[in-house]
């Protein structure tokens, strides 16, 4: 009986799997609605936006692009008593990152990300090419725009390259950079077992080389004092900085022309692809001249594809910098108190570099693209 039951279970599982894969191939999108924030199953069976939940998603993207860490966003949501996608009180940094990387929030869908490997245990694994995946554009209504989503991906990549930890509980992590070696400062404890115990920040690889980095260590009090001093200085220039961000920078970083170039390149590539296919069908193995012509066309196609990828990267970078400049101006316009806070730090500061030398100096690289050097007393 057990073998019959097992065979029946296998048959049912295979039928279900076939049905799911057929739906994926047809571009039909489904979601785990019970644990997927922002959408519910609509009357037509397609994903339907839940307005209140969509505002939470927009908030997560907005706070991330304003400089907050995954952990910082999670804390802000819990402080406002907002439930997680599974209806829990606790938000995890991994959940925040997952939301930021999920293409469904811009209205697209990558289907068959995971698949079942064992019909009895229902064990699943990440699809790493074992079975086909399908990417469906505009499969349903998005919650964030393509531009916002791409800016978030660009920012995730940038932070990873700068080794800014998204799950760190300290907002200085990864944002203070040693100018001697380029490594991030890390938090350390001095005199941990005595009454003189205190936290300091120093280059994470200060003693990794043959000679130690000559950049100084910093106390958290010094970093905060430097920040408040910097904030005081930019407040004195508030009107001119706001004008610079809203007019000059916004104009310089405009991407309308670049986006038109992308559209034109995509049209050309579609046509080139068709022509390559036609050439391939008529080429004979012994026809060296035709093969040479095809190879040249293929090389040109690949070069154009690379140009398109580079242009899209430039657009994402410009869009992000423009967004930062405008958000920086808005935040600067509404500041009434320059007292240090995590929110103010994240909304104004991109990162801080620490120069070499006997004098303690901090160079604040602001999210507007402006830099301010502060001498610590």
DSSP strand pairing (349-354 vs 176-178): parallel
Same domain? 181 vs 277: no
Nearest CA to 96 among 84, 105, 79?
A: 84
pLDDT in tens, the chain (377 residues): 455 544 554 444 444 343 444 444 444 677 889 899 999 999 988 899 999 999 999 999 999 988 888 988 999 999 999 999 999 999 999 999 999 999 999 999 887 655 555 544 555 555 555 556 778 888 899 999 988 998 899 889 888 877 665 555 677 888 899 999 999 999 998 888 888 888 899 998 888 888 899 999 999 999 999 999 999 999 999 999 999 988 888 788 888 899 999 999 999 999 988 888 887 777 655 555 567 788 888 888 899 999 999 998 899 888 888 888 998 999 999 999 999 998 899 889 999 999 998 889 999 999 988 999 999 97
Structural domain includes residue 170: no
Residues β-bridged to residue 203: 185
- Among 162, 186, 213, residue at a domain's last position: 162
Contacts of residue 75, defined as CB under 8 A and 6 or more positions apart, other chains included, come to: 91
Same domain? 31 vs 66: yes
Structural domain includes residue 248: no
The answer to whether the beta carbons of residues 315 and 259 sit under 8 Å apart is yes
Same domain? 180 vs 152: no
Same domain? 25 vs 156: yes
Fill in the DSSP letter of residue 83. Answer: P
Give the CA distances from residue 166 to residues 57, 177, 193, in Å, rounded to whole numbers and listed in that order: 17, 16, 30
How many degrees, rounded to 5, is the angle at CA 364 between CA 363 and CA 365?
Answer: 110
* Alpha carbon distance 164, 172 (integer Å): 9
Structural domain includes residue 275: yes
Structural domain includes residue 244: no
Contacts of residue 274, defined as CB under 8 A and 6 or more positions apart, other chains included, come to: none
Same domain? 270 vs 360: no
Same domain? 25 vs 95: yes
CATH number at residue 32: 3.90.1750.20
Instruction: Write a three-state SS string for 323-337.
Output: HHHHHHHHHHHHCCC
Same domain? 145 vs 84: yes
pTM above 0.75, yes or no: no
Same domain? 210 vs 85: no
What backbone torsions phi and psi does residue 247 show, to the nearest 5 degrees? -110, -65
- Among 162, 187, 214, residue at a domain's last position: 162
Same domain? 105 vs 133: yes
Same domain? 9 vs 125: yes
Look at residue 19 in the predicted model and tell me its pLDDT. 43
Structural domain includes residue 213: yes
Give the CA distances from residue 218 to residues 181, 230, 239, 357, in Å, rounded to whole numbers and listed in that order: 16, 16, 32, 13
* Alpha carbon distance 366, 372 (integer Å): 8
Same domain? 142 vs 230: no
Look at residue 249 in the predicted model and tell me its pLDDT. 81
* Alpha carbon distance 84, 78 (integer Å): 9
Same domain? 195 vs 258: no
Structural domain includes residue 169: no
Give the CA distances from residue 59 to residues 99, 168, 223, 319, in Å, rounded to whole numbers and listed in that order: 11, 20, 28, 18
Give how many domains the chain has, as a whole number.
3
Largest CA distance in the chain: 84
What is the token pair recorded at 215? Answer: 């950049």
3-state secondary structure of 352: strand
Domain that holds residue 298: 254-334
């Amino acid at each position: 009986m057990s073998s019959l039951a097992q065979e029946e279970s296998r048959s049912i599982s295979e039928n279900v799997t076939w049905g799911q894969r057929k739906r994926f191939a047809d571009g039909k999108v489904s979601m785990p609605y019970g644990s997927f924030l922002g959408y519910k199953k609509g009357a037509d069976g397609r994903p339907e936006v839940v307005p209140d939940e969509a505002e939470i998603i927009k908030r997560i993207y907005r706070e991330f692009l304003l400089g907050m860490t995954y952990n910082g966003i999670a804390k802000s949501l819990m402080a406002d008593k907002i439930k997680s996608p599974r209806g829990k009180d606790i938000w995890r940094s991994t959940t925040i990152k997952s939301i930021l990387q999920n293409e469904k929030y811009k209205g697209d869908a990558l289907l068959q990300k995971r698949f079942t490997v064992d019909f009895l245990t229902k064990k699943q694994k990440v699809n790493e090419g074992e079975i086909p995946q399908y990417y469906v554009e505009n499969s349903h209504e998005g919650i964030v725009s393509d531009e916002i989503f791409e800016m978030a991906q660009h920012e995730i990549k940038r932070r990873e390259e700068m080794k800014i930890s998204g799950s760190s509980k300290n907002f200085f992590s990864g944002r203070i950079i040693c100018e001697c070696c380029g490594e991030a400062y890390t938090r350390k404890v001095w005199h941990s077992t005595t009454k003189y115990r205190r936290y300091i920040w120093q280059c994470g690889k200060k003693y990794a080389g043959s000679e130690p980095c000559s950049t100084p260590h910093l106390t958290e009090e010094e970093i905060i004092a430097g920040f408040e001093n910097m904030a005081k200085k930019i407040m004195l220039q508030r009107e001119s900085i706001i004008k610079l961000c809203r007019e000059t920078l916004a104009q310089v970083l405009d991407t309308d022309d670049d986006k038109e170039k992308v559209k034109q390149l995509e049209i050309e590539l579609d046509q080139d692809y068709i022509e390559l296919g036609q050439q391939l069908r008529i080429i004979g193995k012994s026809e060296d001249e035709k093969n040479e012509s095809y190879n040249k066309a293929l090389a040109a196609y690949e070069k154009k594809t690379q140009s398109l990828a580079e242009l899209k990267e430039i657009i994402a970078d410009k869009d992000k910098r423009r967004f930062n400049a405008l958000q920086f101006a808005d935040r600067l316009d509404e500041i009434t108190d320059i007292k240090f806070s995590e929110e103010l730090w994240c909304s104004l500061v991109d990162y801080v570099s620490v120069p070499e030398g006997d004098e303690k100096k901090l160079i604040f690289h602001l999210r507007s693209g402006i830099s301010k050097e502060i001498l610590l007393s």
